[in-house]
Structure 1
Amino acid sequence: MTQKKPLVLDVDGTFLKTDLLFEAFWAGLGRAPLPTLRAAARYFSQPAKLKAELARIVTLRLDLMPVTPSVAAEVAQAKEEGREVVLASASDETQVKTLAAAHDLSERVFASDGQTNLKGEAKAQALVSVYGEKGFDYAGNEATDMAIWTHADRAYVVGEVAAVKPLPKVTELEGGWSWRGLLKAIRPHQWVKNVLLLLPLIASHRFDLDTLGPILLGIIAFSFAASSIYIINDLLDLEADRLHPKKCRRPFASGAVPIRVGMMACVVLAVSALGIAAALNWAFFGIVVLYTLTSLAYSLKLKRMRWVDIATLASLYTIRVVAGAAAGQVDVSVYMLIFIFPVFIALGCVKRLTELTLATSDERLPGRGYGRGDRSDLVNVAGLGVFGALLVFFLYTVSDQGEVLYPDTWLMWIAMIPLGWWLIRMVALGWFGKQDYDPIVFAMRDKFGLGLIMIMLSLMFWAAGLWAQWFGG
């Protein structure tokens, strides 16, 4: 009886919808940043050594890695036929062996060993030396796999690959990625947060195009900068996201978008943000740099530290307000900064409350320092934030600046009612898990909450005499 030919699978982009080298690099950045960066700098031109060193620095949860459905179907069929299914990859052999064991594949693997980067012709020679010419079928996803396909009996091509030579036996399998997935990774719906840049304009009553135009450009710059950080945050959180009931569907965690595509998009967005910022003014440029560095520190370390993460989130929102003032060259009130910081402390607590309420177990949140036992403390801190915000708002109404801008002080006191109602309602919704995971994004879609904000702003405009100025009377 003739022995059935084995099915040999490439790993990165073929069996898996991700790349183990980039997975190890980003996992290393999150857990051991300095050793990871040293390894990347030292072995950048030696891929086999780099992969071995990264595999030593960080252990990946290979059982969580997203598998390509079309390839998984071929694997299942090959097993039914009694064929050996073998992994052959340029990734490090320790990772490839672990991956093979996790998916009950052949113990025999072909992989980089720290000296030889098993890719292209090197992989072809290794396979032919064991199985012989045309003695195996091979699945791959890149043009470099042509070196192996020409020696294989049948070529399984995952996604769209520009073949440089005609192949006699080809099976095309669904794969690749879409721009729609990348757009989702950029999270344009989160850009709504950057309307905070408009607050200095509203507070100073500078409703003119010379002020509004630069602030709108500033919003674009901040949106691009934020999206670049969202990508970095997702790449650092791959394992935690895959353990999360909803975040596991994010583009990078699910493998819908390759990590290398995300890295390129991140660079383009960051450069665009800094370019727009520099074109506006250097003060705004400095604030964008500060925001980016603070966001990176948050993604790398601070978000894992209890209470520090909430203070950092509040600072990032506050920076947006300062950025609006710098973009529009508007003086920002110290009272405003003191007022909005406790507001964002409260909303930061709401974010964690929502995550804990919606969590499916009592364990601490993956990648965070909170468990369900912290819910009461989070509510207390949120309450202090609400009280602090309302107190500062009141003190502003009786300050010299407040009395000049808002002569009808009693209307400002009435405006505190919808403001307090909105804040308390946000905390309550977080406690009962009736929010999205991001309170700012939720607030922009919450019709009742938006109504309260509109009532508050209307009262403030009335107190400032703006309604009479705009419409007469």
Structure 2
Amino acid sequence: MRRPLVLDVDGTFLRTDLLLECFWAGLHRAPLATLSASLRHLRDRAALKRALADIATPRLDLMPLNPDIAARALEAREAGREVVLASASDRTLVAGLAAQYGFSADSLASDGQTNLKGAVKAQALVAAHGARGFDYAGDSAADRPVWEAAERALIVGHRPRIARALRARGHDVQEIPGGWHLRDLVRALRPHQWVKNVLLFLPMLAAHDFALNTLLLVLAGIAAFSAAASCIYIVNDLLDLEADRLHPTKCNRPFACGAVPIGVGMFTALVLAGFALGGGLLLGPAFLAVIVLYMTLSLAYSLRLKRMRWVDIATLAALYTLRVVAGAAASGVAASFLMLVFVFPVFLTLGCVKRMTELALAQNNHRLPGRGYARSDRGDLLNVAGLGTVGALLIFFSYSFSPQAQALYPAQWLLWVAMIPIAVWLIRMVRLGYRGAQDYDPIVFALHDKAGLSLILVTLGLMMQGAGLWTRWLGL
């Protein structure tokens, strides 16, 4: 009789961890119940796994597989060998996974009372198959007792000391590539999204305060805001694992595809949050309050608000506007109330553009995964985007009559001329979003769009001429 092939699940057959999958699925669906269960069973891993699995069972058919181990499992099945899952994850999940892939029904797993890990797993496998009566694939140092009880040890990842020790004891050892790469973690931080934080420069530019000290304070604020944003991006990705795996392109995100372990993401998010809040402390209570509000609102958006029609777009606009407020708080430059009111409808329009783009690129007429919109809503989104465009232009026109504008812009009429490229830019963004002819994030798209950047530069040039800055700097 041929030896069965026994597979660990977390980090071996799957490129993820089922306990953490349940935790984040639970936070997505029932956050209070999940946090309560986590605190209640913090010291009892088996009970914790059962409680979280009962609260939210993730889609097992969407779990990312380790291709090398999956191929070996298929090869073993075709050769007539029994393939058995043995995992410290909860039995309900492991049994479902075994049924999903046609493995043996005699899987071994934690049962709510016993945590099947390390020596406990080794004893259970020896009782079922005999000493050295099975081959075992695992990835963790905790699997060493199981490898020692097996005939053949398949080690996923880089564990040279364990491999040498097992070979010295007469085991057949096969090492299989595994682990994660720093470049994938950097990709999860979405550094390309940091360009959004150029919005922190807006109060400084609007007030024509180009002092070096002001610039350095804004740059420090951008660093803190970038860390806060990356922290929230990680949390958002972990909350959206299932929706991302159903998405045609987001399924390739590092956590969704298993390129980076969930635990690494959680640790990184904590470090980034600490950096952001520490930077907030250094830049003063006003900036700290803004960054705390930004992170809190972003978390609320990730947990609930993004699934609420229209509320999600208003929240996106508020998050963009908070970047402008943060620039004022970091530099100490007073932000005009009308300027803040002006940027909100601009960002409201761009929020509609973001949703229209997603709907235009959707593959069917169903609601977007994790969102409250379907293709039938494109007309309503277009109307709201139009209202946002008109509102922004009217507020900008009103700003031109404000005492601050009259003090900063002697040639008031050039502000009115500047409204033309602003209007063209907004209408162009709406048109491209409706056609699905831009990226999923309109801000990132705008900062790489040559035609759009030309319109923005024309606007800035007209405003600077209206303020007399070209004459002051260049003698024009």
**Residue 374 of structure 2 is aligned to residue 376 of structure 1:** no
Equivalent pair of 2:166/2:173 in contact (CA under 8 Å): no
The corresponding residue for 1:88 is 86
Identity %: 62
**Residue 365 of structure 2 is aligned to residue 362 of structure 1:** yes
SS at match of 1:345: helix
Query: Which letter does structure 2 place at the counterpart of 1:38?
Result: S
SS at match of 1:253: coil
Equivalences for 1:11-410 in 2 at 5 Å?
11-164=9-162, 165-167=165-167, 168-410=171-413
**Residue 418 of structure 2 is aligned to residue 418 of structure 1:** no
Q: Pick from 460, 467, 471 the counterpart of residue 468 of structure 1.
A: 471
Distance, in Å, in 1 between the alignment partners of 2:90 and 2:340 is 51
* Post-superposition CA distance 1:370-407 (Å, at most 9, x none): 00010000000000000000000011112222111111
Distance, in Å, in 2 between the alignment partners of 1:106 and 1:384 is 60
Equivalent pair of 1:143/1:162 in contact (CA under 8 Å): no
Equivalences for 1:452-463 in 2 at 5 Å?
452-463=455-466
Against the structure 1 CA distance between its residues 45 and 162, is the aligned structure 2 distance closer, same or farther, given a 3 Å change threshold?
farther
* Post-superposition CA distance 1:85-131 (Å, at most 9, x none): 01000000000011111111111100000000000000000000010
Query: Structure 2 unaligned runs (5+)?
Result: none
Query: Which letter does structure 2 place at the counterpart of 1:194?
Result: N
Q: What is the alpha-carbon root mean square deviation over aligned residues?
A: 0.7
Distance, in Å, in 2 between the alignment partners of 1:307 and 1:195 is 26
Distance, in Å, in 2 between the alignment partners of 1:40 and 1:269 is 23
SS at match of 1:277: helix
Query: Which letter does structure 2 place at the counterpart of 1:260?
Result: G
SS at match of 1:155: strand
The corresponding residue for 1:438 is 441
* Post-superposition CA distance 1:2-38 (Å, at most 9, x none): x110000000000000000000000000100011000
Query: Which letter does structure 1 place at the counterpart of 2:84?
Result: V
Distance, in Å, in 1 between the alignment partners of 2:74 and 2:175 is 17
SS at match of 2:6: strand
Query: Which letter does structure 2 place at the counterpart of 1:271?
Result: G
Distance, in Å, in 2 between the alignment partners of 1:362 and 1:354 is 14
Query: Which letter does structure 1 place at the counterpart of 2:94?
Result: V
Equivalent pair of 2:90/2:110 in contact (CA under 8 Å): yes
* Post-superposition CA distance 1:255-282 (Å, at most 9, x none): 0000000000000111011111111111
Structure 1 position 295, deviation (Å): 0.4
Distance, in Å, in 1 between the alignment partners of 2:304 and 2:71 is 40
Structure 1 position 174, deviation (Å): 1.8
**Residue 13 of structure 2 is aligned to residue 10 of structure 1:** no
Distance, in Å, in 2 between the alignment partners of 1:172 and 1:400 is 72
SS at match of 1:115: coil
Query: Which letter does structure 2 place at the counterpart of 1:223?
Result: S
Query: Which letter does structure 2 place at the counterpart of 1:203?
Result: A
SS at match of 1:197: helix
Distance, in Å, in 1 between the alignment partners of 2:160 and 2:266 is 23
Equivalent pair of 2:190/2:233 in contact (CA under 8 Å): yes
* Post-superposition CA distance 1:146-174 (Å, at most 9, x none): 01000000000011125443332111112
Query: Which letter does structure 1 place at the counterpart of 2:253?
Result: R
Query: Which letter does structure 1 place at the counterpart of 2:180?
Result: W
Query: Which letter does structure 2 place at the counterpart of 1:397?
Result: S
Query: Which letter does structure 2 place at the counterpart of 1:262?
Result: G
Query: Which letter does structure 2 place at the counterpart of 1:161?
Result: R
SS at match of 1:375: helix
Distance, in Å, in 1 between the alignment partners of 2:74 and 2:50 is 30
Distance, in Å, in 2 between the alignment partners of 1:286 and 1:401 is 26
* Post-superposition CA distance 1:396-433 (Å, at most 9, x none): 11222211111111111111111000000000000000
SS at match of 2:380: helix
Distance, in Å, in 2 between the alignment partners of 1:158 and 1:464 is 64
SS at match of 1:166: helix
Equivalent pair of 1:194/1:222 in contact (CA under 8 Å): yes
SS at match of 1:38: helix
* Post-superposition CA distance 1:27-51 (Å, at most 9, x none): 0001000110000000010000000
